[in-house]
Amino acid sequence: MPRFEPPGARRPRAMASKADAWEPVMISPYLERPMRPLAATLSAMLEKIETELTDEKLGAAEKWQRRMRAGLIRSLLTPRLVT
The count of structural domains within the chain is 1
For residue 4, tell me if it sits in a domain.
Answer: no
Q: Is 68 exposed, middle or buried, given 0-12, 13-18 or 19+ CB atoms closer than 10 A?
A: exposed
16-52 as b/e, with b when 16 or more CB fall inside 10 Å?
eeeeeeeeeeeeeeeeeeeeeeeeeebeeebeebeee
For residue 18, tell me if it sits in a domain.
Answer: yes
Domain region containing 55: 13-77
**C-alpha to C-alpha distance for 69 and 65, rounded to whole angstroms:** 6
For residue 30, tell me if it sits in a domain.
Answer: yes
For residue 6, tell me if it sits in a domain.
Answer: no
Q: What pLDDT, on a 0 to 100 scale, did the predictor assign at position 29?
A: 73
For residue 63, tell me if it sits in a domain.
Answer: yes
For residue 24, tell me if it sits in a domain.
Answer: yes
pLDDT tens digits along 38-61:
899 999 999 999 999 998 899 999
For residue 8, tell me if it sits in a domain.
Answer: no
For residue 82, tell me if it sits in a domain.
Answer: no
Give the rounded percent of residues in the chain with a pLDDT score beyond 70.
67
| Per-residue tens of pLDDT for the chain, all 83 residues | 556 666 665 655 555 555 555 666 667 777 677 788 889 999 999 999 999 999 889 999 999 999 999 999 999 999 888 87
